[in-house]
Amino acid sequence: MRAEISYDLVMDDDMPFVEGTYRQPGGAWQVFIVSASERDVPAPQVVPRRWESRVTGVFIRLPRSERINAATVERVLSETLGVSEWVRVRGPDSMQLR
């Protein structure tokens, strides 16, 4: 399955956090957040979220051994959502959706 992803920030190889949005075919934009503050996990964890705005998405926790970057975010989301290809687009800002 091919899906769209949009990053709120200019991506680097090792970020302190990442926020953005993604959309699966025919679906609404959803939010993803990756934070360096919660990295005491043995393997990547994807936790479903619903914000006060009723927008849904995920919070991703990564082990300290993994860099926070686009490749890691897309790999973890792919494994969780069954996406085989990400198309980077300019989507809505995650903070505006939340």
Residue range 11-27: mean pLDDT, rounded? 96
pLDDT of 37 reads: 80
CA-CA distance, 56 to 37, in Å (whole number)?
A: 21
pLDDT of 40 reads: 85
Q: Which residues contact 68 (CB under 8 A, 6 or more apart)?
A: 14, 15, 16, 17, 18, 34, 36, 62
More confident: 39 or 94: 94
Residue range 3-16: mean pLDDT, rounded? 96
**41 contacts 62 by C-beta, under 8 angstroms:** yes
Q: Is the pLDDT of residue 38 over 80?
A: no
Handedness of CA 64, 69, 71, 76 (dihedral sign): positive
Domain range holding 33? 2-97
The pLDDT tens digits for 39-88 are 889 999 999 999 999 999 999 999 999 999 999 999 999 999 999 999 99
CA-CA distance, 29 to 55, in Å (whole number)?
A: 8
pLDDT of 35 reads: 85
Identity (one letter) of the amino acid at 6?
S
Counting the structural domains of the chain, the total is: 1
β-strands 56-61, 45-50 pairing = antiparallel
